[in-house]
Each structure stands twice: as structure tokens, then as C-alpha cells.
A = this chain, B = another copy of it.
Amino acid sequence: MDFISIAKSAKEAALKAADLTCDIKNSALLKIADAIENSAEKIFAANKDDLEEAEKLVASGEITKSTFNRLKLDQNKMRDMVQGIRDIAKLEDPINKKLLVRELDKDLTLYKISCPIGVLGIIFEARPDVIAQISSLAIKSSNAVILKGGKESKHTNQTILGIINSALDEIKGFPKNLLQQVFTRDDVAEMLKCDKYINLIIPRGGNKLVKFIKENTKISVLGHADGICHIFVDESADLEMAQKIIVDAKTQYPSACNSVETLLIHENFPKKDELLASLQLEEIQLINNPESWAHEYGDKILAFKTVKNIDEAIEHINTYGSGHTDSIITKNIENAEKFMNKVDSAGVYFNVSTRFADGYRYGFGAEVGISTNKTHARGPVGLEGLTIYKYKLVGNGQIVKDYADGVKKFHHKEIV
């Protein structure tokens, strides 16, 4: 099937899915979790095929060892994947929520109701567990998806989605073609052009992938390319707190997008040398040059810079940062408020590690991704980011002319 036919059938499926009840969606999710659990051997076998091919690619240097590791499914990842699906079943339905109910006039009521976006295009790299997670999020939010995984995980992806779709076939009334998969680079090119049927693109992978996608489509893209997070140690910061937070933000998971990349230190902070020495003791490599200010190392490397005052810190962050997550360490509450108001990032933190920027830690139950966009959804995105809303207006024959002529008047009374 060519891409346009796939996309068209996805749109048809999305229209049908829009009024699935939460019960049907949840029973579908539980059925999928059981099916994956019961087909673990089949999935491991497919994963083995992928790993055999990937081993050659590691040997020839075409993929890295860390890509290989992300590709590899084990019992733990399998258990987490199944549990993740069951957790999504437990979440509140993000669809059909009354966001506003307003009586415009007697017997003329406006409802703002959350609804699915439509068709999502998901482009992801190695990790085959993404396919189960995204499929579950799509089902829960009544969206259709077209998935394009990395070619290294082709067998695993195909097997997992096959098991998911077989499970869905048994659910009465569940629309066909809600979850589909494509495999080639040409498909990606078609997807990025297909604004007629695809409403939102979500890339899940490294910054090269995300940048490429953002630069090659007019469709909305939800995600972030860089994660250049800052910590500003203010004049009045507590040394011990600063040490603890910076070490956590840099070393707890150095390749995470919410790890700190640049440390800014107020020139009057009295314990600067002590702080830097303690970071080096934690095997953090410190560098101090302008080339490092807009670079995401994803490693135990930390750029640092001394700044004159909080204003220079804020300006540095707004100039070189990626709008992801930035933290101030201070005892001065006014400075903390200034920092949080003036730094133009999705997350602005006061005396905490940047690593908290995460949908689960925020209590969203599931994470679609982290966005540095300035429209639609920003920061860690939960299921809500896969929804939009429609306005339902219920009347009994009202016409605009009566209001334009002054025969009737709106009273705009909030109900919800």
C-alpha cells in the first residue's frame, strides 16, 4: 500500500475512534498487555533476529554499542513495557472532558469538549518498546498513528505491532487501521509532506533526527532537538545544596535531555573554587569556552562561566539555551522569582535538579515526550498533549440576526 492510502485509512480510523468509549479503550489496552505478555517468546525471537544483524553493524561501526543496547529487549524491559500499557489503562480518559460549559443565552449552551487530534506520525529510533507505549497512548487518546521505527528494530517492531493489532481485531467495534507501520525513508519523506492527513508529528530520538524533521515539514512537530539546560549558582547559594544538585543534574543520567550542560556562577559566590573542585572529584570534566555554550555533550562534561549578576545569567540562558529546563540555586527569593519569570524555558526551577523535568515525575502518568515548542504543548507532555477540543453549541432554533438586531442579548453565564 502506498503512503497516501495508509494515511487516508488512518484518517478514516481516527474519525471512527473519536467516539470510542473509555471502557472499550481500556479493555483494548488490557487485552494488548496480556497478548504481549503471552507472546514474549515470539517477541524475543524477533528481537534476536534484529540483534544478530545489529551485531554486524556494531562490528562495522555503522551503529554504536549504545544503540545496540537500546535495541535489546530483556525480561525487565518486557515487564516494564507490559506494565506501562496497564498503567495507561488506569489513567483518566483524556477525551470528552468538559473544559468549559457556558450558557450564552437561555437554551443556548456552549460546551468546550476535549477530543483527539486525528492522525499522529511517530518517527522513532532503535528502542522497540516505544511502539507499545505510543500505540497505547494513541488508543487511550483515540488518535490514529502511523509509526516509523528504526530499521535496526524492524523485526521486533513488526512482531510487536502484529500482536497488538491481532489483539485489537478481537475487540468488537474497534476501528481497523488505527495503528499502522511504515518502514522506508521514502515513507518518512511522504509523511513529512502529508499535511492533508497527518495532524502532528512526534519524533522520538536524538537531536539530529528531531532537527531533520523540524526542518523538513510544515506539520506541527512535538518535541525538542537540544536539551541545553543550565544551573545558575547565585551569590547567596548554599554550597552543599549547589554541589548536591549539580552532581545529580550532571551525573545521574548524563545523556538525558534534562541533564545540566552549563553551570553559571555569580562572580561574588564566595565558594566558587570549592564548588568546582568538588565537581571534579565527581569526575565531572569542567570546560570554560564559548564554543561549549550551545553544545549538548550528553556526557560528564560541564561548561561553566562566571557571570556578573543574575541579569547576565538570564541573558546567557535566553541566548544559548534551548528553552528546555533551567534552575537557579539561591537563598534570595526575589532573585528566584525574577529568574523563573524571565528565563524563557519550558521548566524554570528554584533549588532543584533539572532532572525533574519528566512526565512521570510531574505526575502525568505517561509521557508523550518533552516539548520546547511555544505553541500547543510545552515541557513534559502527558496524554493531554495528544488532544485538542471542539465546541458543541446546543440551541433550539437561535439565529444570529436576533442578537445583531438587539432583539435578544447574550448573558454568558458560566456553568463549568
Contact = CB atoms under 8 A, between A and B. Distances in A.
A91 B392 CA distance: 24
Interface string A381-416: 000000011111111111111011000001010000
A200 B380 CA distance: 21
Interface string A341-361: 110111111111101110001
Contacts of A397: 238, 241, 244-245, 351-352
Nearest to A329: B397
Contacts of A361: 104, 400, 403, 410
Contacts of A362: 102, 104, 110, 391
B375 A388 contact: yes
A350 B410 CA distance: 18
A214 interface: yes
Which of A349, A393, A399 is the most central at the interface, judged by chain B CB atoms within 10 Å of its CB?
A: A393
A340 interface: yes
A15 B319 CA distance: 11
A375 B378 contact: no
Instruction: State the oligomeric state as a number of copies.
Output: 2
Contacts of A345: 390
Contacts of A363: 102, 104, 110, 410, 412
A87 interface: no
A218 interface: yes
A220 B351 contact: no
Contact of A351 (B102, B356, B395): B395
A395 B347 CA distance: 13
Contacts of A18: 341-342, 344
Chain A interface mostly helix, strand, loop or mixed? mixed
A13 to B, nearest CB: 12
Interface in A212-267: 214-215, 217-218, 220, 238, 241, 244-245, 247-249, 252-253
Contacts of A338: 19
B15 A342 contact: yes
A350 B252 contact: no
Contacts of A118: 344, 374
A400 B350 contact: no
B342 A399 contact: no
A117 interface: yes
